[in-house]
Amino acid sequence: MERIHQLSKTYKNHMKDQIKKLEATARMLEPSAETRNRLAEKVLSYGDNFLNDLPSKKAYASPKQNISSSPFSEGPADMDKLLDFLKSNVDANALNPASGGHLGYIPGGGLYPSALGDYLAAITNRYAGVFFSSPGAVHIENRCIRWLCDLIGYGPKAGGNLTSGGSLANLIGLVNARDDSGISSKDFEKAVIYTTRQVHHCVIKAINFAGLADAQIRVIKMDARFRMIPHALQKQLIEDRELGLKPLVIFASAGTTDVGAVDPLHEVGTIAQDQNIWLHVDAAYGGAFLLTEHGQQKMNGIHHADSVTIDPHKGFFLPYGSGALLVKDVSKLHNSQHMTANYMQDTLAADEEYSPADLSPELSKHFRGLRMWLPLQLFGIAPFRAALDEKLLLTRYFYQEIQKIDGIEVGPEPELSVMFFRYVPASGDANTFNRKLLDAIHEDGRIFLSSTNIDDIYYIRLAVLNFRTHLQTIDDTIALLKKKIAAL
């Protein structure tokens, strides 16, 4: 008996020794205040230098592709070396979305207070998916959502979810339309989705993700400004009903990525209501312009939509990773996404506000609201509105000025802040010329433009949405284009 007791005591001591040994190494995960300060100083100084040097940095640097970061090892690495790696392989490589010279695709943002918000969100690591766990974090997220709903003109029944971006917001919107339609999965072949050729390709991906790959997709005709023709939509809907098909959703756009077109939302919304079909508006790019009078006019009728996508990481200048899905009647989104489990039963005790986890596929989630709430509170709304009005005017200014160059052909007058153009040389193939022109712009690197293909014609696109793009950037772009056209 004594021996067994002795053995058990030895085993217990051995176990404690083991635990203490592990603890000593595990505690490296919690740096001391002194180490924290040292690391934070280095990171802050890296960030400050990045921002201070930004005006002299290129928007596009020739890409370095053979990147090889050291494999992870059992021991620690040196912060200075890690930051050096970031500097040369990440932050001075290819596209620089932080630059005001980024005028391609749809530029993103990167507001400084959002970085501070992300820092706080990561340090405090509030469980932002569930009201029970963090009523404050959920409230902040819902405050952001309410503000977006007000911009659309939605009433008190509206709500939504802050997603990682527009692709996810469009997917959740589509799934909500599917679930609300009452069309059973065995009838998905008969379901019909209405959109135009301008719809963002993430919607086609969403259709597959939503299990609707066998549904019919009706590509509705557009007018000369790439906007859905309401009459064509109505005619198609009526024909489809006569064929016994089941109209499921209209996917309209408020600012297409390609050319910035805004579908006639009032007319399309009225048809959707008459035909009792879900209308989703992808305003991922255009939605932020609702802060401006011009945007309100262009997107008149957006409140008819059953759901809307807006990307704060586009027109509200947040860093990437911020989209939003807004639903006119949030209880429909709740019906589509809510689920419970026995290990979640405690959370049912607090339901004063909707929990993000009940309105999206995500459960544990980044406290995204903080990176949006902080800059909106700190700066107020006025600078956002001014920046958006400025971007609209800068695009119009470019549109007028570029036409002063002989040989330049432009697309339609920009509805928002995206437009396209090309140079038509006196002789030779225009597509080849414009490809070379864009290569020359990229080689210079101060400005980044992207391209598109419309009816087999190669065009250069300009998208003004970075908050650091101002008049000087646009003047520099025009001067650069003139110089490169002359050189070619």
- Contact flag: residue 160 with ligand PLP (CB under 6 A): no
Binders of ligand PLP in range 202-241 (CB under 6 A): 202
- Contact flag: residue 191 with ligand PLP (CB under 6 A): no
191 vs 418, beta carbon nearer ligand PLP: 418
Q: Report, in Å, the least distance between residue 43 CB and ligand PLP.
A: 26
Binding range to ligand PLP, per CB under 6 A, among 84-92, 118-126, 280-288, 341-349: 280-288
Binding range to ligand PLP, per CB under 6 A, among 163-171, 357-365, 406-414, 436-444: 163-171
Q: Report, in Å, the least distance between residue 170 CB and ligand PLP.
A: 6
172 vs 481, beta carbon nearer ligand PLP: 172
Structural contact between residues 394 and 419, judged by C-beta atoms closer than 8 angstroms:
no
Structural contact between residues 485 and 437, judged by C-beta atoms closer than 8 angstroms:
yes
- Contact flag: residue 108 with ligand PLP (CB under 6 A): no
165 vs 269, beta carbon nearer ligand PLP: 165
| Torsion sign (Cα): 109, 113, 117, 123 | positive
- Contact flag: residue 263 with ligand PLP (CB under 6 A): no
- Contact flag: residue 165 with ligand PLP (CB under 6 A): yes
Binding range to ligand PLP, per CB under 6 A, among 58-66, 72-80, 166-174, 466-474: 166-174
59 vs 416, beta carbon nearer ligand PLP: 416
Phi-psi region of 110 (alpha: psi -120 to 50; beta: other; left: phi over 0): left
Q: Report, in Å, the least distance between residue 323 CB and ligand PLP.
A: 5
CA distance 369 to 129: 11
Q: Give the CA distances from residue 335 to residues 151, 210, 354, in Å, rounded to whole numbers and listed in that order.
A: 24, 16, 12
Kindly tell me which residue out of 200, 332, 368, 422 binds ligand PLP, with binding defined by CB under 6 A: 200
- Contact flag: residue 285 with ligand PLP (CB under 6 A): yes
Per-residue contact flags (x/-) with ligand PLP for residues 287 to 326, judged by CB under 6 A? ------------------------x-----------x---
Q: Report, in Å, the least distance between residue 314 CB and ligand PLP.
A: 7
- Contact flag: residue 415 with ligand PLP (CB under 6 A): no
Kindly tell me which residue out of 166, 247, 264, 375 binds ligand PLP, with binding defined by CB under 6 A: 166
Per-residue contact flags (x/-) with ligand PLP for residues 321 to 350, judged by CB under 6 A? --x---------------------------
Q: Report, in Å, the least distance between residue 102 CB and ligand PLP.
A: 13
130 vs 249, beta carbon nearer ligand PLP: 249
Q: Closest by alpha carbon to 160, among 362, 360, 304, 318?
A: 360
118 vs 311, beta carbon nearer ligand PLP: 311
List of residues contacting ligand PLP (CB under 6 A): 106, 165-167, 170, 200, 202, 256-257, 282, 284-285, 311, 323
